Amino acid sequence: MEKVMPSFDKNRQKLGEILPLSTPFTVIIDASERCNFQCSYCYRSNTKNKENWGYAKRNDLITWEIFEKAVAQIKEFPEEVRQISLSNHGEPLCNRKIPQMVRYIKENGIKSRISIHTNASLLDEDYITELAEADIDRIVVSLQGLSTEKYAKICRAAVDFEQLYANLSKLYKRKKHTQVYVKIMNCALDDGEEEKFYNLFTPICDRAFVEQEVPIWKGEEKDTNSISNKYGDTFAMQQCCPLIFHTIVIATNGDVYPCTQLLREEILGNINEKSLREIWNGSQRMELLKRQCELNNPQICDDCYIKQNSIYSDEDMIDDYRREIFLRLKTEEGGKIHNAR
């Protein structure tokens, strides 16, 4: 089946040869720290210790003012950001303004791919039409089961699976250029259900894939030399995190984080006080990048699994380039390097 494909793009550049970047590949503008699910494998299942929720414990939606500012500042980079993701760890559709945000970004002349990861459970007739008409570039739907009962068990939420399926069919029918990708966690499938998943969903999406559960939120499996990512591919354990070099995160209150690690306490700044470009090129971020190259990471990076899970192909691994990148960081500091395309 030609639609059975993971949701990442395969035409990748060798990161080690082009870092550091003057323009991020991905800016995450977190539309919603809120989520309507409590998936068993997610930090949200631990409701007793909300400290583990990091900055998501605020449970906020982004304000329109912060969102507008983020968009204006994205335009200040010397090149086009490749992707603007409107979702982080929460459920973006908790924010009804996603279609309005997509339109606003496009009206501002930004050509970046606009994407969300969503559980799709909050789609209704109006939301389907609005999203389809806004022509968002990519929607990655995370399924958590193939029945209402499975949803109750895995995400402790009342989801009518037949209705969810009907809504996704409508979205696929009404969309214009949007790429709809559907994925499911292996732990959400019963024995023999993989084929059922592909049979049900390949007719109503552009790509479908079964992903593996990985220890994102815990520092397990440290004593192995290799590790499987969520796409089932095995790579050597990484020491340098590629994500921190190509992605930046704007939280709902305008705070800027260097990566998607929720428990990272120090922020790089706030877009109300400094522009995103200044923060991207600023000494605090540069110091973090250099420390990655020197393998002198802050504790939070050492314990973090994101660096393993950000490896989708050999091109993403930067350990062998860390000395070169370090030298380029020292000599080119200030964002003088232009992204190679």
Ligand X SMILES: C[S@@+](CC[C@H](N)C(=O)[O-])C[C@H]1O[C@@H](n2cnc3c(N)ncnc32)[C@H](O)[C@@H]1O
Write out the residues near ligand X by the rule CB under 6 A.
35, 41-42, 87, 89, 91, 117-119, 142, 185, 211, 213-214, 216, 230
Segment holding 316, helix H or strand E: none
Closest distance of CB 163 from ligand X, Å: 17
Q: How many CA atoms lie within 13 A of 15 on its CB side?
A: 22
Q: Is 81 exposed, middle or buried (0-12, 13-18, 19+ CB in 10 A)?
A: buried
Q: How far apart are alpha carbons 213 and 42 in whole angstroms?
A: 10
Q: How far apart are alpha carbons 17 and 325 in whole angstroms?
A: 8
Nearer to ligand X, 15 or 98 (CB): 98
Closest distance of CB 152 from ligand X, Å: 16
Nearer to ligand X, 89 or 322 (CB): 89
Closest distance of CB 115 from ligand X, Å: 11
**How distant is the alpha carbon of residue 165 from its chain centre?**
24
Nearer to ligand X, 77 or 316 (CB): 316
The angle that helices 98-107 and 125-134 make with each other, rounded to 10 degrees, is: 10
Closest distance of CB 157 from ligand X, Å: 11
Closest distance of CB 20 from ligand X, Å: 27
Nearer to ligand X, 39 or 325 (CB): 39
Q: Closest Cα partner for 306 from 316, 321, 320?
A: 316
Closest distance of CB 252 from ligand X, Å: 14
Closest distance of CB 89 from ligand X, Å: 5
Amino acid at 258: P
Nearer to ligand X, 185 or 256 (CB): 185
Nearer to ligand X, 123 or 337 (CB): 123
Report the b/e string of 32-70 with b at 16+ CB within 10 A. bbbbbbebbbbbbbeeeeeebbbbbeeebbbeeebbebb
Token duo for residue 151:
């949803």
Nearer to ligand X, 74 or 116 (CB): 116
Q: Are 35 and 91 in contact (CB under 8 A)?
A: yes
Closest distance of CB 281 from ligand X, Å: 29
Which position's Cβ is nearest ligand X? 142
Q: Are 254 and 29 in contact (CB under 8 A)?
A: no
Please report, to the nearest 10 degrees, the dihedral formed by the alpha carbons of residues 151, 61, 48, 211 taken in order.
Answer: 40
Nearer to ligand X, 212 or 226 (CB): 212
